A and B are shown apart, each in its own frame.
Chain A
Amino acid sequence: MAKKKLNHGNPIWNFFTSVQLTVVVLLLLAATSIIGTLIPQNASSLFYFKKYGEVFYKLFTALNIFDMYHSWWFLLLLGLLAVNLIVCSIDRLESTWKIIFPEKVVFNLERYKKIKKKEEFVSKETSDELKEKYKLFIEKKFAKVIEKETENGFALFAEKGRWTRAGVYIVHLSVILLLAGAVIGGVWGFKGFVKIPEGESVDAFETRKNNSIIKLGFTIKCNKFDVSFYDTGQPDEYKSNITIFENGKETLTTDIIVNDPLRYKGISFYQSNYGTASAKEVSLIITSNESNMVYTETLSQGMTIDLPEAGGKFILDGFVQGYDFRGHNLGESFVGRLIDNSSKELSVVMPVKFPTFDKMRRGAFSFEIEKFEKRYYTGLQVTKDPGVWYVYTGFIFMIIGCWITFFMSHQSICVEVKKIEKGSSVMVAGFAHRNRQSMKIKTAGLAEKMKGI
């Protein structure tokens, strides 16, 4: 950007144009960000209370430390950065604009002569011979050549890359776009989670932030969930096959896998987790402890059967992921009820891994699970983020802008040729608004080639 600063004489304005402020704000952002990596974020109050004790719990809560990246003071720092950036850019834009689009390009020979690292050599050819050759050569490497007659020779000037001075503005604009995208996503977006058992549908979900229910505007049904494993037992792939219905009409059937979400009407569904929702085709082994007869029955959840030997009724109520028995986790279990002929109800627990468990009840019948088919649920993360396109545009601008500022520059070159006895003396000097080192190397390379022509 241009060196000359417009002085608005307004202290608030000047405060926001300063790069010192930038350094301070970035330092504060970096330093405070560390806190959130040391203290787990967004955990439960109970967890914090236990971990930090009452005093620190209260202090940290007051300072929003447990959700610090969304706290007022962190957002204030980001806001300060944005204002700093916008004000600073506006402040400098006018003078940069004048450099990028000058009314008239003027070259000052003296300025090039003052450059320390310039190349000088002597050529046998006359200055008139050199003129045309050099003009052609420079024109190829730069843009249009401007020619000036001097006392005893001539000077050629050329330049390129004026526009690269805009590179820094592109970088800074990208930062604004990122911040804007984050704000838009935070205000108009949402994030939540749904569990859909195979064969069932949902038309709403719960948000993560305040557990409110949001309507999707359509219905999503999970037809089937699949998980495949490697030989090592590590999961290879999760896949949900889903169908979308609008007003009762099927509009789309597709698979959702990890890394390949479904996007529908601005809402995205990501494969997030899975579990066993319930069971179907449960094979039950029923042993009568009076007759020692063994019966098998296949039933589904919620079904009622008549027990053999006129022993009453049995209802298979449901499936539990981890049944808790006096503090022990029995793992996947089924629960049911036995209703005997006097209408007395008894509850029955059938852990899959402990088939003899129900024998301990010492009832007229004991029940065990032979096998069953799992019915999975799929866990989908549901998000809507209208800010994401601003963020992505910001990403692209950031990369392009950095590339321009780091590796390109506004370069100009001056070739001065003076008549001497038996030939000419040549000076080549180059100037760049940044990356002077590489311009020096470039100038030396150009001079080397010019010696040869």
Chain B
Amino acid sequence: MPNSHVMSADAFRTRSQMWDATGMWAWVLHRITGLGLVFYIILHTILMAGSLLSGKEDFDSTLSILMGHPVFEFLDILLLGTVLYHGLNGIRILLFDIGIGVRVRTQKDLFWIFMGVGAILWFWSILLKLGW
């Protein structure tokens, strides 16, 4: 068989790197935000259920920490950004599934349009949160 000596599983090969491609970054961020949201939901459920089960006082004190501490205010903003990114990029992917925007240029345009909308919504929400 020709080239059989290089066909072994450990044959040297380089791996694809397309770090200048918009679609690649969109996918990487989609994965990261997706994992982040799963982690958040698990944490949220455990914390809420745990404090609810241990009584009214515990639940109230947990909520007062979560709603009042500046770190959690910041995490709230981060959570909203994550939800916005994952949701809007998810819509972009759904559009591909129904055959809309499946072109190199269009998929990039769609990405930046959705990111623009997301950024506006995010900053608007931050301003609302800060009471401006």
A and B are interacting partners: no
